[in-house]
Chains A and B, each alone.
Chain A
Amino acid sequence: MRSIWELANPARFMRLSAAALPWCAGGAALALLVGTVWGFFLTPDDYRQGSTVKILFVHVPSALMAINIYAMMAVASVIWLVRRHHVSALAAKAAAPIGAAMTAIALATGAMWGQPMWGAPWVWDPRLTSFLILFLFYVGYIALWAAIEDPDAAADLTSVLCLVGTVFAVVSRYAVLFWNQGLHQGASLSLDAKENVDDAFYWPLLAMIAGFALFFLALLLLRTRTEIRRRRIRALRMARARAEEAREGALEGAADVA
């Protein structure tokens, strides 16, 4: 492949994604298996959190994906608006429900951890609140796709929504910091931080993150392929309806002449 834009050709995308899909799915299964066994059974309990610390092996990767999927949708939306590549718009459409699911998983696992650790499944903390807002962004985006019939208009409008939403999502992220100082701990996976999560948890966590990323990629390829096929069926149906209309028109014309 000489350039990434060659993937903009749906036929080429279908061919390449068909080849890549089993590798992504297999890699995801392997990384998730290794991460789960290593993280859940071969790491020590935390001295203060006990075994609940292991929720982080699902919570952190899903939260990471929830944010990055939205960023990916924003990039795909820009590509669609600028270069009009249909695969890009369909990839953004295909990614949204996965992102919403990841956000829901992050919120649910956070609640499971919060119940024993904070004494409450939900607190109005900046991170929790911005995730709830992120979830609402996903829901609105999916609802707008569903509400508009013409696929190109839907792609355009959802792209505009996604970009405006990105700006306000970033503003909201920092506005909620202003509103409440919060309970959620800071980042502990940064490359430049002095104190990160302990090595015992670090490597299985990396395996889980890789697993979630590959799992997302596999689902994304699968769902984008489905969307492309759905688009083809739509085009075929429209062509058939047009052909039938033309034939009926011709018959009527013949009857008029007779």
Chain B
Amino acid sequence: MSVFLALIRRDVTLALRIGGGGLLGATFFLIVVLLMPLGVGPDPAGLARIAPGVLWAAALLACLLSLDRLLQADHEDGSLDQLALAPLPLEAAVLAKATAHWLTTATPLIAVAPALALTLNLPAPAYGALIAGLVIGTPALSLIGAVGAALTVGVRRGGLLLSVLVLPLYVPTLIFGARAADQAAHGLPAGPSLLFLGAVTLLALAISPFAAAAAIRVNLR
């Protein structure tokens, strides 16, 4: 367990000290959200209608942005080989790296999401569902992303390939997450969507560490 926590601490420290860490991801999130009113027009009612979907799609893209460095740097400098040799199972190492990715990428997004929702005129009852949805759903983004990162770690300039592989896998998370906020905005109960969202995250938690660890083993062969 202490190795697990040490690995999380190492990855968080690295992310914070190199390249601005979560701040850059949150800024990217802000820019994508900014593009939407510029693209579709400033009408408050129209923005309120699309706000949940825009925020979720922007969060997806912001999570995607940092995924190609999730394992690549460790692969290049050989730390990934050390991790594979360490007593900690590779599956647990993947889980630790995904947790660190979630802490450095998703938590800043969740922190700034209410402010951005305000600019998009999100109806007041939807805030709770939006934040709850992001808290429940974004771990799935990091976990699924770890599989994509593990599959493409041996590919030079695999960033674009990673996006093509990972984004279709994000569909259920996006649907249930945006749906929860959307239903709350219309005064409907968000509970069922949030439960489905939790189910997707648990499914990702059950599959991803094993799939990603298998892919890393192939890439280290």
Report A's interface with B, CB cutoff 8 A: 133, 136-137, 139-140, 143-144, 147-148, 153, 156-157, 160-161, 163-165, 167-168, 171-172, 175-176, 178-179
What chain A residues lie within 8 Å of B151 (beta carbons)? 144, 157, 160-161
Q: How large, as a class, is the contact surface on chain B? A: 20 to 34
- B60 shortest CB reach to chain A, Å: 14
Known pairs A148-B154, A160-B215; A171 contacts B200 (CB<8 A): yes
Q: How many A-B residue pairs have CB under 8 A?
A: 80
**Stretch of B85-93, B108-116, B126-134, B160-168 that contacts chain A:** B160-168
**In the assembled complex, B169 has its CB within 8 A of some CB on chain A:** yes
Instruction: Determine if B211 and A163 form an interchain contact, defined as CB atoms under 8 angstroms apart.
Output: yes
Most buried by B among A133, A171, A176: A171
15 A-B interface contacts by CB (under 8 A): A133-B168, A140-B164, A140-B165, A144-B152, A156-B215, A157-B219, A160-B218, A161-B151, A164-B208, A168-B144, A171-B203, A172-B172, A176-B171, A176-B175, A178-B179
Instruction: Determine if B164 and A175 form an interchain contact, defined as CB atoms under 8 angstroms apart.
Output: no
How does the 8 Å CB contact mask read for B135-171 relative to A, with 1 for contact and 0 for none? 0000000001001000110110010010011011101
Instruction: Determine if A175 and B175 form an interchain contact, defined as CB atoms under 8 angstroms apart.
Output: yes
- Residue from A156, A168, A171, A179 in contact with B179 in the complex, judged by beta carbons closer than 8 Å: A179
What chain B residues lie within 8 Å of A133 (beta carbons)? 168, 171
Q: How far is the CA of A178 from the CA of B200 in the complex (A)?
A: 14
- B109 shortest CB reach to chain A, Å: 22
Instruction: Determine if B158 and A147 form an interchain contact, defined as CB atoms under 8 angstroms apart.
Output: yes
Most buried by A among B175, B179, B196, B214: B175
Q: How far is the CA of A179 from the CA of B193 in the complex (A)?
A: 10
- A252 shortest CB reach to chain B, Å: 31
- A91 shortest CB reach to chain B, Å: 19
Interface contacts beyond A143-B161, A171-B172: sample of 10 additional A-B pairs, CB < 8 Å, sorted by A: A140-B164, A147-B158, A147-B161, A153-B154, A156-B214, A157-B151, A160-B211, A168-B144, A172-B171, A176-B171
Known pairs A147-B155, A148-B154, A160-B151; A167 contacts B171 (CB<8 A): no
What chain B residues lie within 8 Å of A157 (beta carbons)? 151, 215, 218-219
Q: How far is the CA of A86 from the CA of B36 in the complex (A)?
A: 48
Known pairs A148-B154, A164-B147; A140 contacts B211 (CB<8 A): no
Q: How far is the CA of A179 from the CA of B218 in the complex (A)?
A: 37
Nearest residue, chain A, Cβ from B165: A140
Instruction: Determine if B211 and A164 form an interchain contact, defined as CB atoms under 8 angstroms apart.
Output: yes
Q: How far is the CA of A117 from the CA of B16 in the complex (A)?
A: 56
Known pairs A143-B164, A157-B215; A175 contacts B155 (CB<8 A): no
Instruction: Determine if A144 and B165 form an interchain contact, defined as CB atoms under 8 angstroms apart.
Output: yes
What chain B residues lie within 8 Å of A160 (beta carbons)? 147, 151, 211, 214-215, 218
- Residue from B144, B168, B196, B218 in contact with A153 in the complex, judged by beta carbons closer than 8 Å: B218
Report B's interface with A, CB cutoff 8 A: 144, 147, 151-152, 154-155, 158, 161, 164-165, 167-169, 171-172, 175-176, 179, 193, 196, 200, 203, 207-208, 211, 214-215, 218-219, 221
Q: How far is the CA of A167 from the CA of B167 in the complex (A)?
A: 14
- Residue from B155, B196, B211, B214 in contact with A148 in the complex, judged by beta carbons closer than 8 Å: B155
Q: How far is the CA of A163 from the CA of B208 in the complex (A)?
A: 11
Nearest residue, chain B, Cβ from A139: B164
Known pairs A147-B155, A168-B169; A178 contacts B176 (CB<8 A): yes
Instruction: Determine if A144 and B207 form an interchain contact, defined as CB atoms under 8 angstroms apart.
Output: no
Q: How far is the CA of A91 from the CA of B144 in the complex (A)?
A: 26
- B70 shortest CB reach to chain A, Å: 16
